[in-house]
Structure 1
Amino acid sequence: MTKFLLAVHVLAAIITIGPVTVAASMFPPSARRALAAPDDAAALATVRTLHRICRVYAVIAVAVPVFGLATANSLHVLASPWLVTSIALTVAAAAVLAALVLPRQSSALAALDGTGGARRATDVGRTARQLGMYTGVFNLLWAAVTVLMIVRPGSTTGV
């Protein structure tokens, strides 16, 4: 059962978190391109699609910690420092995505669509810069979690 849970956990991480990190990273330059070409419907459609990927996959990514905790429980490593640290970093990454990345993507998209009030280049440009920074933090947090999951310092599982 442990191998099954671990396999599902790893697959869920690859299938859900990978697309969010890529789409979130692509969003700021795509928003700037859409801003620079206001009549380019394809550029705006790209921004919409990237935001939708981030939103949908963020919800589905809840499966990652669920299966991760089930795996840790079956391995009896729930109290291991590397796992506790990984959990804290995962919570931080989720908070960055939910509180900083997704709302700013929504506001940039609303400004580009013209539904969020006046379309102001400075607002979209500033938001795109902020998104670049917050997305970088989000990606670094996931990179740290990935390293901890591979290295597992002090792990009792024999690795």
Structure 2
Amino acid sequence: MTKFLLAVHVLAAIVAIGPVTVAASMFPPAARRALAAPDDPQAAQTLRLLHRICRVYAVVGVVVPVFGFGTARAMGVLGDTWLIVSIALTVLAALVLGALVLPGQEALVEGGSGGREATVRLAMLTGVFNLLWATVTVLMIVRPGSTTGA
């Protein structure tokens, strides 16, 4: 059962979190292009598509920690420091995405003010989000204190 839970957890992370990190990273440059060409319908359409990808996959991404908790329980590592840190970083990443990145994208999609400054702020927040996920990924692989030798 542990192998099944771990496989689903890893696949869900790849399928759900990967598209969010890529689409969120593509959004700020696309927003700058859209701001530079306000009459270009394709630029606006690209922003809407990237924002929709981020929203949808953010919701789908909920399965990652769900299967992660199941895997951790089956492996008996729920109290391990590396897992607790990973959980805290995952919560922080979700907050950055849900409270800062997605609303920032929404404002730009709807033509909100802020212009270039808004895209720079969004790029920074997206970078923080991606860095948090990269750190969680490293912790999941390296697992400090693990006896597996990884």
Q: Which TM bucket (shorter chain)?
A: over 0.9
Tell me which residue corresponds to 1:136. Answer: 127
Alpha-carbon offset, residue 39 of structure 1:
1.6
Tell me which residue corresponds to 1:81. Answer: 81
Tell me which residue corresponds to 1:57. Answer: 57
CA contact (8 A) 1:24 1:135 kept: yes
The letter for the 2-side match of 1:139 is N
Alpha-carbon offset, residue 136 of structure 1:
0.4
What do the CA deviations read for 1:30-74 (whole angstroms, capped 9, x no partner)? 011011111211111110000000000000000000000000000
Give aligned-pair identity as a percent: 69
Tell me which residue corresponds to 2:33. Answer: 33
The letter for the 2-side match of 1:61 is G
Alpha-carbon offset, residue 157 of structure 1:
5.0
2:26 & 2:99 partners in 1: Cα distance?
A: 18
Please identify runs of 4+ aligned residues in structure 1 that moved more than 6 A.
none
5+ residue gaps in structure 1? none
TM-score where L is the length of structure 1: 0.91
Do residues 13 (structure 1) and 4 (structure 2) align?
A: no
CA contact (8 A) 1:75 1:157 kept: no
Tell me which residue corresponds to 1:126. Answer: 117
Alpha-carbon offset, residue 155 of structure 1:
2.0
Alpha-carbon offset, residue 125 of structure 1:
1.4
The letter for the 1-side match of 2:70 is A
Alpha-carbon offset, residue 124 of structure 1:
2.5
2:127 & 2:117 partners in 1: Cα distance?
A: 16
The letter for the 2-side match of 1:28 is P
What do the CA deviations read for 1:88-118 (whole angstroms, capped 9, x no partner)? 000000000011100010011111xxxx5xx
SS of the residue 1:132 aligns to: helix
- Aligned partner (choices 127, 139, 149) of residue 148 of structure 1: 139
CA contact (8 A) 1:80 1:155 kept: no
Tell me which residue corresponds to 1:92. Answer: 92
